[in-house]
Chains A and B, each alone.
Chain A
């Protein structure tokens, strides 16, 4: 009765299993059916609506392909990069910078706040306030400080990422049962060893879950920040296309942004499954 069930021993290792599951999730026939249905409804609607209101799916995809490497019209509108690719890279760079900086600060602050009451007492009110105010309303203020360059959009996203990862890291560390640390101490672990072998591995799955959420939000926030004031980026493209009343261009740009976010999230999900293969929640 205390012996392990035979299937535990013979089934493939969890990492293989989770890899297969992620693939399946992407190729799930039901999900594909949902996408097909959406495109069908869209196509039917275009029969009754003029292209200036609702472009056809095919037109949007063709536009995306055409504009991806070269869209001379954009330079005419004052966008630095005259193609979608360059603007996507600009946005993606900003998201990457902001997520890296924001998560390092957020995770460290969150873990420290869970360990030391005084740090928590100092940081919590700030984070709680920042968490309740929609961070986007700080955009005009940041524009005053940093102008329309990279810095203001990146700052906005950094704030957002810090708040999310602070909360996730803090919760992960607070929920960690003290018995693990006590056990490690009785086995002879040093304080540094406890951080390396207990605190970090135990909180990684939950923190990576927060990172995925922050990443998803960061794309949107970065695009909106660019929309409000920027020289380049997906948001800037959307802004000028909206000014030019070009729904097809807008939808092509949105489609590209969405696809980029999906690919990045799939990579992040894969990383979570790999790093946290011990945890039932990660499978």
Chain B
């Protein structure tokens, strides 16, 4: 991979996606969104429900096709899913009919990695997410938080350079959510800044976005309405969220979500992606 492609890991160019509602009306879920995401960036997608953030993520995953516009990953236009883009779903996606270790191996198996080698890789990542002791368990024997750990181990084991996470921790309790955030950040950061994978993380939790992201993209009614850099140092603590910069970003986010009065009317960000 050359460095020119690396600096523009994900390019989303004038992407539109329309759906037909049951009553026949056309709805624009994603409306002319253009954005460039750099390699190694941890980007959170925030917005009220129905704002198009999950639709955009599914298009990057290749599970949905844009009605118009294009998406390129590592310099190549995507069509359909690809293993360089791993996805962690909101729902439990761990296959109940495979043992935990077989789930983690599944992507490697699809690629034809030899059995002994893929088992070793899978074991490594299961250990990293703290589940080395349940590799032979069936998924139904695991709690919701543990299933998310398995899902995270699976995408990391598959070696995807881009990770797409769709409200992965939304259904978890407070403590488990925070534990999993640090599991994710540790894996993301394990090889140092240069080895970081590119992450698109959809969330509706403002504090989650502030503690995880390098950059927060805010969506509203299918539009990209704000693009905020989060520069606070890592690792971030509870105190990090109280830094003046962070509080300022939080106010902006809350305003976008309609929870605080807006200082100024919505402006649609026109990123330079197309140029």
Contacts and interface: CB of A to CB of B under 8 A. Distances in A.
Interface string A198-210: 1001101000000
B137 interface: yes
A278 B146 contact: no
Nearest to B93: A183
Contacts of A204: 97
B165 to A, nearest CB: 12
A187 B83 contact: yes
Interface core residue of A4, A184, A186 (most chain B CB under 10 Å):
A186
A204 B137 CA distance: 20
Contacts of B252: none
Interface residues of A, number: 30
A8 B137 contact: yes
A13 to B, nearest CB: 8
A1 B63 contact: no
A187 B142 contact: no
A177 B91 contact: yes
A9 B61 contact: no
B132 to A, nearest CB: 11
A190 B110 CA distance: 8
B154 interface: yes
Contact of A2 (B82, B91, B93, B179): B179
B140 interface: yes
Contact of A4 (B85, B107, B146): B146
14 contacts: A1-B176, A2-B130, A2-B143, A4-B134, A9-B137, A179-B92, A182-B89, A183-B87, A183-B95, A184-B106, A185-B62, A185-B80, A189-B106, A202-B97
Interface of B: 61-63, 80-83, 85-87, 89, 91-93, 95-99, 106-107, 110-111, 130, 133-134, 137-143, 145-146, 149, 154-155, 158, 164, 175-176, 179
